């Protein structure tokens, strides 16, 4: 009798912890494809927390006393992908902090990650057991549109990589390293693609349709 009660308690515990397991959507696409813009819109309409890997790296670059500040600065300007040990710790901590503050916040948009094989390996090593990747939201946008959006933003963004020289490198890195990751998820049937070259509202209409369907 006691045994069966405790069994039921444990099975309930496991069911609850399964429900609370972080649910992740990876948000990928070229530089300036609109990942950040669309994530902001999603957060306004759905119960997701937006974590931009690029923003977390820029914060770490600016943090006084950071041992990685200089390395991150160089990598970002060169459009190269920062070693995953740095990025994954920032992401993990941001997820933990969010869930600690509010246990209901267990749905995450992870924007701009994973960008290459090293990133994916790091995720699988550190987070695979701890979080479920639901799907990849892919903002598909031509290189020229991407470059022009970033150049336009560069007039006021203050970002060290919103200039033509860095942008050429960012595009190359995207094509060589990130596209194969998207293709890999595509083979698993886990990519939801949106034509991101249209207006913010048009893109978001498609995003909504995907999220309403996926839950």
Residues that bind ligand UP5 (CB under 6 A): 29, 31-37, 52-54, 57, 75-76, 79-82, 87, 112-113, 115, 119, 149-150, 153, 161, 170, 199-200, 203
At its nearest, how many Å lie between Mg ion and the CB of residue 201? Answer: 19
Q: Which does 31 bind (CB under 5 to 8 A by kind): ligand UP5, Mg ion, none?
A: ligand UP5
- In whole angstroms, give the CA distance from residue 57 to residue 35: 16
Residues making up the chain, counted from first to last? 215
Distance CA 69, CA 57 (A): 9
Compute the distance between CA of residue 78 and CA of residue 84 in angstroms, rounded to an integer: 16
Q: Which is nearer to ligand UP5, 80 or 134 (CB)?
A: 80
Tokens of 142: 């031509």
Name which of 3 and 172 has its Cβ closer to ligand UP5: 172
Nearest to 141 by CA among 81, 49, 47, 206: 206
Q: Are 191 and 182 a contacting pair, CB within 8 Å?
A: yes
State the binding partner of 192 from Mg ion, ligand UP5, none, CB within 5 to 8 A by kind. none
If contact means CB under 5 to 8 A according to the sort of partner, which of ligand UP5, Mg ion, none does residue 80 touch? ligand UP5
Within a 10 A sphere around the Cβ of 146, how many other Cβ atoms?
A: 23
Closest approach, Cβ 8 to Mg ion, in A, equals 46
Tell me how far, at minimum, the Cβ of 64 lies from ligand UP5, in Å: 20
Check residue 59 for interaction with Mg ion (CB under 5 A). no
Nearer Cβ to ligand UP5, position 16 or 205? 205
36 binds Mg ion (CB under 5 A): yes
Which residues have a Cβ under 8 Å from the Cβ of 156 and sit 6 or more positions away? none
- For ligand UP5, the closer CB: 23 or 118: 118
Nearer to ligand UP5, 7 or 70 (CB): 70
Number of residues that bind Mg ion (CB under 5 A): 2
CB nearer to ligand UP5: pick between 6 and 74: 74
Order of all β-strands in the sheet with 23-29: 49-52, 107-111, 23-29, 132-140, 191-195
- Cis amide prior to 114 (ω within 30 degrees): yes
Min CB(146)–ligand UP5 separation in Å: 8
Distance between CA 168 and CA 125 in Å, rounded? Answer: 31
The residue at minimum Cβ distance from ligand UP5 is 54
SS3 (DSSP) at 197 = coil
Residues at the interface with Mg ion (CB under 5 A): 35-36
């Amino acid at each position: 009798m006691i045994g069966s009660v405790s069994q039921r308690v444990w099975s309930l515990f496991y069911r609850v912890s399964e429900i609370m397991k972080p649910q992740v959507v990876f948000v990928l696409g070229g530089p300036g494809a609109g990942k950040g813009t669309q994530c902001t819109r999603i957060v306004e309409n759905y119960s997701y927390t937006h974590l931009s890997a690029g923003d977390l790296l820029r914060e770490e670059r600016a943090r006084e006393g950071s041992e990685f500040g200089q390395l991150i600065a160089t990598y970002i300007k060169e459009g190269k992908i920062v070693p995953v040990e740095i990025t994954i710790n920032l992401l993990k901590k941001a997820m933990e902090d969010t869930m600690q503050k509010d246990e209901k916040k267990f749905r995450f948009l992870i924007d701009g990650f994973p960008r290459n094989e090293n990133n994916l390996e790091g995720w699988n090593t550190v987070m695979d057991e701890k979080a479920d990747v639901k799907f990849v939201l892919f903002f598909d946008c031509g290189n020229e549109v991407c470059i022009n959006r970033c150049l336009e933003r560069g007039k006021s963004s203050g970002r060290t990589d919103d200039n033509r020289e860095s942008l050429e490198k960012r595009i190359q890195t995207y094509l060589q390293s990130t596209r194969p990751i998207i293709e890999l998820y595509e083979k698993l049937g886990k990519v939801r693609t949106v034509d991101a070259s249209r207006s913010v509202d048009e893109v978001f209409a498609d995003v909504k349709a995907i999220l309403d369907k996926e839950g």
